[in-house]
Amino acid sequence: MVEAVIRHDWTREQVAALFALPFNELLFRAHTVHRAHHDPQAVQVSTLLSIKTGGCPEDCGYCSQAARYHTGVQAQKLMSVDAVVARARAAKEAGASRFCMGAAWRSPKDRDVAKVAEMVSAVKALGMETCVTLGMLSGEQADTLKDAGLDYYNHNLDTAPDFYGEIIHTRQYQDRLDTLAHVRAAGLKTCCGGILGMGETREQRAGLLQTLANLPEQPESVPINQLIPIPGTPLAGSEPVDPFEFVRTIAVARILMPRSVVRLSAGRQQMDDAVQALCFFAGANSIFYGEKLLTTGNPETEHDRQLFARLDLHPMELHPMELAEPAGAAHAGFGQHACATADAA
């Protein structure tokens, strides 16, 4: 089977044309691309720990952790290194090979990055891959995390450039692109996606995917989140995206970014099993695993096990060579991979 060519010159019109394909034709094309680059029965299974919750000064309209909104989330200080390592060790014992740490900051101070770097080094010492999401980073901060052994950095674009100002006012779109550039320059892999259901049009969904695909390097992981309308946030009354429109978005993401892992992230708890099955066929090959995504619910572990069995899916195993030193063999258990969503939940 011929592999798809990786392109960085997609136009908005070309991406919109993919969205407009007949549903079955779109899924056929996406699944064909998926099979050319991935094992269609393998799904990365992700875990995530909030190491610093709430109190964020940003005004992201979807976020339960923004200090200005009354969502019931209580601000908590940064966890201790020992507490994080204990959680990472438990995750490894449960089968995880990558551990992700998320903190609700607009931009961390250097002393915060130094503390997170300690966590990264300690988790790496367990023989696990590491991922963090901390907000905007400087080039020096990205270098610090790389030197500590960090593998992935998560920083979502959230939505299309022309809709971004409707959702967030406390940072610019270019700020996000700058952080991604710093992360890439440091030699880190990127985890970068967006959120559906914030009032954007299909054309703006096309704009989000176009921007992701046309980055200098396509993200290794692309989380596609479905908005969870959280009481107390400006988007609390948002109408949910049509399930088939969500599947279309997964399919188009797969066609545009053939080698990326496309992740079903926040909002999966609201999806029925049939919609999830269509997403996997359309090219999704990662999920979050566990009872909570930062501050919101996620499908129960046992239900996910049963869903995988019904769909003849299995957790993706990481080859030991994919682990930076200190290396540790990937576990075959349910829980292979972790990467954050930058609090789409």
Q: Which residues are catalytic?
A: 56, 60, 63, 100, 131, 191, 263
Q: Which residue's entry shows tokens 């940064």?
A: 78
Which positions ≥6 away from 318 have C-beta within 8 Å?
97, 98, 129, 330, 336, 337
d(CA 249, CA 296): 23
By three-state DSSP, how is residue 277 classified? helix
Residue 225 in contact with residue 344, Cβ under 8 Å? yes
By three-state DSSP, how is residue 83 classified? helix
Residue 47 in contact with residue 288, Cβ under 8 Å? yes
Beta-strand runs (E) in the chain: 42-46, 49-52, 98-103, 129-133, 152-154, 189-191, 194-196, 221-226, 261-264, 286-288, 292-293, 296-297, 314-315
**Sequence-separated contacts (24+) of 299-308 with Cβ below 8 Å:** 299/268, 299/269, 301/334, 304/45, 304/334, 305/334, 307/273, 307/276, 308/43, 308/334
d(CA 84, CA 122): 9
The neighbour count for residue 35, using CB atoms within 10 Å, is 12
